[in-house]
Structure 1
Amino acid sequence: MTEYNLYCDESCHLERDNSNVMVLGALILPEDKKEEVKDRIVDIKAKHGVSAHVEVKWTKASEPKIGLYTDLVDYFFDDDDMRFRVLVADKTHLRHEDYNQSHNDWYYKMYFTMLNRLFDSSNTYNVYLDVKDTHSAQRAAKLNEICANSHYDFDHKCIKKIQPIRSDEVQMMQIVDVINGAVCRANRTDIKPPAGAKREIIWRIQNRSKLKLTQSTTPGARKFNLFAWTGGHA
C-alpha cells in the first residue's frame, strides 16, 4: 500500500469568464517523496535567483524567467515519482438546464471525473485543493463526500482527506499552476495564440510529453494523462 498526495488546481472554472474551456489538474506523488520534491523546487528557484517564498505562477511567466519555468517543467518530466492528470472541459455548449443542474453541480462532476481514475482502493490518498475563495472549504467537503460515496469509502480509509491549501505555501502547487495554465492556454480558441515565454512553456510541455495538449491521451497514460471532455453527458 502506498500513500499518495494529489495537488489540485483549476483554471477558468467560472461559468461566464470568457474562456471556452475549464481545466482541472492534479500532480500525483508518493507522500514520502514530498520533502524531496519540495527541496528540489526550492533549489531550482534559487538557481534562477528566486526566493523560496516567491510563488511561481503561469500568469507571471516572462522572458527573463523562462529558464525557471522550463527547468520546473523538465524536473516534472525527469522525475519518475511525479505524474499528472488533467481534464480539459469544453464550456461552449454547456446545457445545464437539460440536465437539471447548476454550474456548481457540473463543476463537481468534472472534478470527480478528473480525480476518480486516480483512486485505487489498495492505496491511500491525501487530496489538496488550491484555495480560491471563502467557499473553498465547502467545495472540498462536498467533493470529499462525492468521492467517498462513489468508492464506498465511508470511513475514509482510502481517500483520507480532501482539503484546501494555499498554493503560495506549497511548492508542488506551483508546478500544477504552470502546467494547468499551459494546458488551458493551448486549448483557448477564444483568444489569439500566446507569444513569448508562455508559448515557449507550452512548446516545452508538448515536446516533453509528445502531446498536442488538445486531445485526450489513452485512458491508461501514466506520466501525463489528459482527458478532453466535450459534453453530451453532463
Structure 2
Amino acid sequence: MASPATLLVSIRHQEGALCTLQAATAPYSPHSPQQLSHTQAFSTSRSGPAWHSPGEETEVSKPAGAQELEEERRAPGKNPKEEESRHLSPLSSGEPRPERLAWPGLARRETLREMALHSKMSRLVEATSRLVQVEQTLLLPLLQQRPLPLHPKDSIEFRNICSRMALQREGQQFERDLQEAHQCLKTIIGKLICSLAVVPSDSYIPVRSALRQILQNLLAM
C-alpha cells in the first residue's frame, strides 16, 4: 500500500510531463513582414512613372527586346496568332511539369496530417491536466484516510516519453512517441481504477467516475 507521499511523487512527474507537452504544443510565433527602409521607399517612389505637364508630348521608348519581337512578328510569312498559339501550347507528355502542378494534393495531405497530430497532442494535454486535477482534489484527501496500491514508475516513464517528444516535434519517431505516451497514460489511469475497485467504499465512487471519463476520452482518439 502506498501513502500520500507516493501519490505526490506521481503527480510531480505528471506535472513535469504536462509542462513539457504544453511547451511542445505551443505554436511558433509568425515572423513579422519585413518593413521597407526609408531608402528603399524613396527609391521605389522615384522609380514610378514620371508626370508631365499638360500639352507636353512625350515619347516612350520601347525596350530593345520588345522592339525586335514586334519587328519579327511584322515580318512577311509569319502570322502573329500562330506565333502566340505556338508559345501557349500545352506541355507534351514527355516534358517536365512544375512540381506544384504535378502534385496538387500533396500540400493538403500534409496539412491534414499535421492537424490530426496537433489534435491528438491537444487531447493528451487535456487528459493529463484533468488527471492531475482529479488526483490532487479527489484522490489525495482519500489516501490520507486509507492507502492504495500505486505505481509511480509509470508516471516517470510517461514524463520520459514526453521529454523525447519535445526534442522531436515532427517525424515518424515523434508519432511513435505520441502513441506511446497515449498508451502510458491509459496504463496509469487503468491501474488507478483497478486500485480503487478493490476498496469497498462509496467515497471513491466520484474518483472512479472521473478517471473512467478521462480514460474514455483517451480511448476515443
Normalized against structure 2, the TM-score is what?
Answer: 0.22
More helix by share: 2
Find the structure with the greater CA-based Rg.
2
Normalized against structure 1, the TM-score is what?
Answer: 0.21
